[in-house]
Amino acid sequence: MKRIFSGVQPTGNLHLGNYLGAIRNWVRLQDDYDCIFCVVDLHAITAWQEPRELAANTREVAAAMMASGIAPERNIIFVQSQVPAHAELAWIFNCVARLGWLSRMTQFKEKAGKHRENASVGLFSYPNLMAADILLYKATHVPVGDDQKQHLELTRDIAQKFNSDFGVDFFPLVEPLIFGSGTRVMSLRDGTRKMSKSDPSAYSRIEMTDGADDIARKFRKAKTDPHPLPETPAGFAGRPEAANLMGIYAALSDIPIADACARFGGGQFSAFKRDLADLAVSVLAPIQDETRRLMGDEAYVDGVLRDGSRRARALAGPILEEVQAIVGFLPA
């Protein structure tokens, strides 16, 4: 069976972008793939995380994944730091990847911003850890948003260089799985920036835990333009905010964006935003209820994660041992 690895950082509340661009698609993959879903806390600490919040966010992300429909019995759901092989393989990849490759990663440039010298070394080498996450399980496919395509290319480069340096055919060349609508959800305050947990403005995103009033308020305040909604997708040229809101509507209702345009084209934003908020509430409310229920049972969530880590270690252990032998490390 084809194997998928995918991860989400416990860096704060999940938002509609994480849901429509990632988690909802993962739910749909569990029938056709052997799926490994990871809460990537080692990635999270590449930027400062309050320890108590990190622990709470780790549980909450796992609970939200399960509440969205990812079944722990059929998939592996686990926490990255509970499987030390990720860090061990990442170290080997630190020695395979070239500085020049990492210097070209646009996400590092965006996240480090002007204060590059103050960024953590972990933030710079983050893509090597991501390559380790994927290759540790010899995953064949990775569902990626637009923003992660460059990192996946790097994973392929690392696999190829490892294979050629050591004269082996060990790591597979992983393929991206790109999804259609809802792949990239943009900020509600600026249609050219992606919706993100770390955006300082809470009005830029719909959080998975937002209640009906917050959702309605955030959509009401979302940036728009003075024109009526377009009747076809061609009318979104130069109108990123309108395109984003209609894209969210189409993704939430699982219809092509052209159909959403046909429904609302020529209308005003105010009425459309009310419908959009109602739709978002109807999709998110059941997930929120289930997340709350799971968060009330910490022992259950921790148990699922421990069991997932145990199963992940069982898969990763033999692969790491083979890598260590290839590199020339003495067996432990």
Active site residue ranges:
111, 194, 197
Length of the chain (residues): 332
Residue range at the interface with ligand AQP (CB under 6 A); choices 17-25, 149-157, 255-263, 287-295: 17-25
Residue nearest ligand AQP by beta-carbon distance: 21
Q: CB within 8 A of 121, min separation 6: which ones?
A: none
The answer to whether the beta carbons of residues 218 and 210 sit under 8 Å apart is yes
By C-beta, is 148 or 224 nearer to ligand AQP?
A: 148
Question: 320: which 2 tokens?
Answer: 């790491």
- Work out whether 240 is an interface residue with ligand AQP (CB under 6 A): no
- Work out whether 184 is an interface residue with ligand AQP (CB under 6 A): yes
For the beta carbon of residue 302, count every other beta carbon within 10 angstroms: 14
The answer to whether the beta carbons of residues 128 and 157 sit under 8 Å apart is no
Q: Considering the complex, what minimum distance in angstroms separates the CB of residue 274 from ligand AQP?
A: 23
- Work out whether 194 is an interface residue with ligand AQP (CB under 6 A): yes
Binding positions for ligand AQP, 139-178, rule CB under 6 A: 145, 147-148
Q: Considering the complex, what minimum distance in angstroms separates the CB of residue 9 from ligand AQP?
A: 4
Alpha helices in the chain (DSSP H): 16-18, 24-29, 41-44, 51-67, 85-94, 99-103, 106-112, 121-135, 149-166, 212-221, 240-253, 257-264, 269-295, 298-327
Residue range at the interface with ligand AQP (CB under 6 A); choices 10-18, 68-76, 77-85, 86-94: 10-18
Residue range at the interface with ligand AQP (CB under 6 A); choices 27-35, 112-120, 189-197, 240-248: 189-197
By C-beta, is 135 or 188 nearer to ligand AQP?
A: 188
Q: Considering the complex, what minimum distance in angstroms separates the CB of residue 329 from ligand AQP?
A: 31
Of 13, 57, 181, 196, the one binding ligand AQP (CB under 6 A) is: 196
Q: At what angle do helices 212-221 and 269-295 cross, to 10 degrees?
A: 150
By C-beta, is 33 or 162 nearer to ligand AQP?
A: 33
Q: Considering the complex, what minimum distance in angstroms separates the CB of residue 185 from ligand AQP?
A: 4
Q: Considering the complex, what minimum distance in angstroms separates the CB of residue 267 from ligand AQP?
A: 25
Q: Considering the complex, what minimum distance in angstroms separates the CB of residue 64 from ligand AQP?
A: 11
Question: 73: which 2 tokens?
Answer: 């019995």
Type of residue found at 104: R
- Work out whether 58 is an interface residue with ligand AQP (CB under 6 A): no
The answer to whether the beta carbons of residues 97 and 151 sit under 8 Å apart is no
For tokens 């249609």, the residue is 191
For tokens 């003075």, the residue is 226
Beta bridge partners of 4: 35, 141
Residues 29-58 as b/e (b if ≥16 CB within 10 A, e otherwise) read bbeebbbbbbbbbbbbbbbebeeeebeebb
Of 3, 86, 197, 218, the one binding ligand AQP (CB under 6 A) is: 197
- Work out whether 9 is an interface residue with ligand AQP (CB under 6 A): yes
- Work out whether 11 is an interface residue with ligand AQP (CB under 6 A): yes
Of 17, 127, 240, 308, the one binding ligand AQP (CB under 6 A) is: 17
Between CA 321 and CA 332 the distance in angstroms is 9
Of 4, 5, 13, 22, the one binding ligand AQP (CB under 6 A) is: 22
Of 4, 13, 21, 89, the one binding ligand AQP (CB under 6 A) is: 21
Contact residues for ligand AQP, defined by CB under 6 A:
7-9, 11, 17-18, 21-22, 145, 147-148, 183-185, 194-198
